[in-house]
Structure 1
């Protein structure tokens, strides 16, 4: 399926093959292209996989450049190494279409670049994908409800993602090429190398020829440690984040207004929100059958379940039910806006550190850990970077009523996880409540 997104044509539903054999990857890819009579292919010179258009897309007469959607996803830093991209595409008066791309170890997974027209096939793909990943992965796109089909113990994070965001990463590395033109160009380069070897290498010998080539094509200047660090920050800056001062009050408003303490007689036990980012966080709510409760069944739970919650997953011999819910936590914001204006390390420790200190009398925990350099430190060492960004993890635990204090947190304080434990039998005191909230995130500074 070829989609035109802001003038760039992205292809979904390509065929992917793993390259095996004794020949070079380029030669193996060219052989497969000839075998399947591919109109256009994706292949990197040293990659051990290649992709080509399916029959329907290959017949389309398109002169513009085509880009592989799966190849684009495999190069987005905040999504790799493992990701399952599922985007529901809707058009007025037509049934929904699902664009699916599975990325494993930074490369498109065979069989998981598909355009799906029915939810049964989509559910099967979502259920099959975890078996293809050795580690954790992200569910990317606009279908957080699929989390209920995935393994709960893997704690798979949902990353909201749009086609506009995807096309912003589209570049030459995802470009599809005509295999014939590719082969001719490589043959021409081979002939040129042979000609140069004959003309120059014969009279002078290999060492002189190598020196000649270095003078003719000097290596590009090596980037400084500061430049490499700046590029690493720029890549991270595109990722979404949630400001603690905005997201936590918004989350508390959602809990107070939209979350029932009981559903069909089942009682709320806890809420867990991992990898919190704007504009929507995906949270998992656990309801349970309390001891000595009578007449409660899965059916009573499903019948009373609010529409805004996802399909339940029953566990622990059908005494617990997990449901997912999208929670609005503020307008979309990326890390770059946080890094634009940062306080010094001392200002962070004095300002935010003092805020946490004032909470300690009414909190079970209020901690700001030591600052470390944020991002990838160049191999030259920390001393090779001037004015690096620093970050420090923070964590607060205590009664839910303390959430009103979080609105005063500065714009350099982000939240990553939110956990709420519910115990209606607890006796409230200064540091205890029926609703105990634990939140954590990062605080940023730059000297």
Structure 2
């Protein structure tokens, strides 16, 4: 297959130097000054990077690119609305944390639209301040970054930090000659990338626009992004999430509430992955998976937060009805704010069964997952972690449920803020 190597010199030049020559290549300074933007001024979506189109499956798809020009991190919430005949359909995207001076694309689909001429309404954005740590993943702008004649791209990423990054994902904006065409992501499932490790990735635009692809920009690494879904189950709402290179919709449970059916589409000519996350009901669920009533090989696991994961490979250019069976009847109980394993660690630490550093790993996890937060926190090496022994008193109260999760979190946040606990 013939290919076209991307010019690493152009791609690596800061966008402010290109503004007068190629005003929409990266879209920082020029967009802020001259293009209408939807914002709380400093968190916005440039209108030229916000559009809707019908994908190769005939599903109306909306894409955009959120930019944060603040000197602090944010968690943006985006409301996307489409007028379908006289009816307005709105969907809310609770986006992943966005670091200072960073941007992250998004994509959402509207399978419920009936007309062929929907009207895309300007998006609404709100945001909350957040503590974010830059993900130490870099795109390698070298001869391995190649765009092919069929519109897809291949390249490499490197972990430039000193910690393993789990489930990284790379997003990019796909441009035509004069306009944005799509938002795309790496097609491969990447379980982890070790410090210094270099891994290959590939991206495919929707088949409906492959012939019009000119270049890619705004490569954005993220360490987590999932799509939330709600399905009716046993007279209530069952909330779950998925992460995939494919797309899923129309989720519903059978009358017993034990089998979930959902429609899946993979438009790309490569196999990809799907990873569904379910809150536990009893914690003893044993799942099975079929696609068009044929068994699917899958892996069932439970994560650090206590949620079930069902993961499997999705075949190229495939579609059909996915069924996941094995759910318990009823709805999940309210999940504790702090995972049980941290509470167990706290008990062991109070009783001198584990070291200070092992206890602090759990506390650090609370900040990484933004269960706990402080305005500013210096991230230091584990060898410098420190916790006074008297903190065991409040930790013991928490384990014995004399104080709530929220009260314990307030204590921890206060101690970290005052640098009495150092992590």
TM (normalized to structure 1)?
0.29
Q: Which has the higher strand share?
A: 2
More helix by share: 1
Output the TM-score relative to the length of structure 2: 0.30
- Which protein has greater RCO, CA pairs closer than 8 Å, 6+ apart? 1
